[in-house]
Each structure stands twice: as structure tokens, then as C-alpha cells.
Amino acid sequence: MNNPLARILDNYRLTVPNYVDCLQNLRLILNYEKINYVLDAPKPNIIPEGASKEELVAYYKWQDDDLRAKSYILASMYNELQRQYENMPRTSSMLFHLQELYSEQSKIVRYTISEKLFRMRMTEESVNEHVLKMIDYIKQLKALNFSMDGKLSIDLILQSLSNSFSQFIMNLT
């Protein structure tokens, strides 16, 4: 693999407890490769007779990118799991089945992360550390397909700051 981020896959194999982290790493790698669109974009229709050159190029590019994404996902798995998923037709179907397999765990993880995020209050740490920790929780929730509106995220962070920031918060709102 030419992708330097792919080394992540060597260190973090997909398991139930690390499903969220592994999925986030996979998305990072697919983003780097500029092929993350295959996770959400539907497979192009079968090429009709007389299709334009652009349609042909787009169709074959999607197929190649989907195969690369599927290969990265398979590379993140242990051999036994690879055998179960290697014949799946598309990357999106692999992720759907993985989410089904790990969904119960994901619910628990999502609940735990959201509880930490919503109850978080700034203590003795620096503002920078506190905000970065909250942003990390927000990103973890997004990886679990639980995303918040940007304004809500900002409000949540501002509400978690200590009282010494009240004048700062008043000036922002």
C-alpha cells in the first residue's frame, strides 16, 4: 500500500471493542485516498449501450475506487473476518453488515461518549485541552453516525466552560 496512513491498519485490527476507532481510521485512510465517496454514493447504474466516454470513465472509476476501499477494509480485519466479508459485492454493504454485527456495542459506546460529552465541565485543565477533548468526543459520535449541528456543538462547548468565561460567552452570544 502506498498510503502512509495504511500503517494504522497494521496496528489496529477490527474487533468489537475498537469498532468505532477502526471505522474512524478507515475513513481517514479513504479520505486521504479521495475514495471515501464510495461509502455513501450508490453504485452507478449498468452502463447503457452508447454511453458517453464520461459515463464510462465515471463508472469504471467508481468500481476501481470501491475495490480499493473494500481492500482497505479487508486489510483491517483478522483473517477469519476477512473470509466472511471478502465476497461481499460493495464496500457499503460490508459496512452495513459490520454495523449490524457491532451495532449493540456501538449503542453502548455512543451512550457512553454522549454521556461524557453532555456532562463535561471544565475543571483545572486549560481551555485548549478542555475544548480539544470535547471536539474529540463530538468526532467520535460523528463516526457512530450521531452528528450534531455545528451550532449545538458550539453551544455545548460554551456551556461547559467555567464561570470565569461568562463575560466571554456573553460577548459571543
Least confident of 24-38, 46-60, 93-107, 114-128: 93-107
- Residue 14: CB atoms within 10 A of its CB come to 24
Least confident of 21-25, 77-81, 138-142: 21-25
What are 15-39's pLDDT values in tens digits?
656 777 778 888 888 998 999 999 8
User: pLDDT value at position 104?
Assistant: 67
Quick one: average pLDDT of 60-70? 93
User: pLDDT value at position 70?
Assistant: 92
Q: Is the pLDDT of residue 8 over 80?
A: no
Of the pLDDT bands very low, low, confident and very high (cuts 50, 70, 90), residue 142 is confident
Q: What is the pTM of this model?
A: 0.58
Of the pLDDT bands very low, low, confident and very high (cuts 50, 70, 90), residue 5 is low
